[in-house]
Chain A
Amino acid sequence: MQAKEEFMPTEFHTNNPQNLWQSQPTEAFKMSADSLRRKAQRMERKARLAVIWAAAVALALFLWFGWGFLSFPQKFQNFGLGPAGLWTMRLGFGLLSLWGLYSGYKAYKILWPHPAASDADLKTTLQSYRQELEKRRDYSQNIWLRSGLLVCFLGIAMVLTPMVVRDIRQPLQLLLSAGPIVAIFILWLAIFIPQRRRQQRKLQQEIDQLREFEREYRV
């Protein structure tokens, strides 16, 4: 990295914002081509490592839940569940196993370094700003679908429900064992959903403003 000191003009015009702005002391900043290349390589390496790590976790989840699915009914025969309960649990494990695989694939799609689109930098700042906001809106709108969280929650529910049904005759024990987790989950939903809706509303308002702007004032 190189830096070159620029000299400040001796006379400032603090009443003229343009002069003031342009005469502020700045050092010309430049990075060497080698350091830029190294940074690019470092970023790619980091992204690939993140994908490998995510893939390993996804594979572990797939194998663990898959093992749960395959080892039925021997593993769970002492749980005191009927055939319907056992099959519900088994399918829940199957769903969770598939979700593990899917989450690995999603991590690859998101994290793997792709070459930039050729016209990515040709976008005007207005287009770029709007698209960035739309990306955020879409991400927050579809996070449940995209990350497969619905499948994951469905799988968890299928695994837990038979045990809850089994223990329904002992409500105190059930409340003690499942109560805190259910309370935390409900609290999280109560905070997360309204907050997300508020954010989406604000993003949508701004996107609409920008779209209107684009329609009205397009070059």
Chain B
Amino acid sequence: MPKENTTQDLLYEQAAETYGSALKRLARAYELDPEIRRDLLQEIHFHLWRSFSTFDQRCSLRTWVYRVAHNVATGHVISQRRIRERLVNLEDETIENLPGKTENELTPDQSQSLDCLSTLIQRLKPLDRQIIISYLEGLPATAISEITGLSPANIAMKIHRIKKILKRWFGEAGDAGKGGVHAD
């Protein structure tokens, strides 16, 4: 087996081991249908493996993995024109009016809450979707900035908006100040 293939395989194994669960959550945020989601996840893993043939450590493994994963998943969203044309920005007021989860309706049912959260995420345009997913994964603002290419100040602004929306959806605790995004 050629040497670069071994390095490529090792890097992929390390990435899949460390970020496997996060990638699965990411796929869920991009695709609701379980069958299509599985295909998308395979596609993400395949692109990730292939990308490691050119990985030169100019950025961290985490940044690389999230960039590749988001880029593949975004390509998946863009290819679905009907869905793409209905997506909104975080700043769009219609996102406030989505049938969300108010404080009174809260139930301990995790699956229902997750469905609500997924519905919210899947209404967003790719860039805002990438930011909210990274925020939910607990990535620091600097890491989100590296992944997306937006400035940390802009990320902070977006996250402020995300927190406001999530607060409305999930009640006071949704502010997530404790586990929120930190500046690294």
Contacts and interface: CB of A to CB of B under 8 A. Distances in A.
Interface of A: 4, 6, 12-24, 26-31, 33, 36-37, 39-40, 116, 118-129, 132-133, 136, 199, 202, 206, 210, 213-214, 216-219
Contacts of A216: 154
A129 to B, nearest CB: 5
Interface in B13-56: 13, 16-17, 20-21, 23-25, 28, 41-42, 45-47, 49-51, 53-55
Contacts of A36: 12, 45-46, 49-50
A132 B78 contact: yes
B17 A118 contact: no
B176 A125 contact: no
Interface of B: 5, 9, 12-13, 16-17, 20-21, 23-25, 28, 41-42, 45-47, 49-51, 53-55, 58-59, 64, 66-68, 70-71, 74-75, 78, 81, 85, 106-110, 113-114, 117, 125-127, 130, 135-138, 145-154, 166, 169-174, 176, 178-180
A125 B51 contact: no
Given A17-B174, A28-B20, A22 B45 contact: no
Given A6-B21, A16-B173, A219-B149, A125 B71 contact: yes
A20 B117 contact: yes
Nearest to A14: B113
Nearest to B68: A121
Contacts of B180: 18
Contacts of A14: 106-110, 113, 170
The 3 closest A-B pairs by CB, nearest first: A124-B149, A15-B173, A28-B20
A127 B149 contact: yes
B29 to A, nearest CB: 9
Contacts of A213: 127, 150
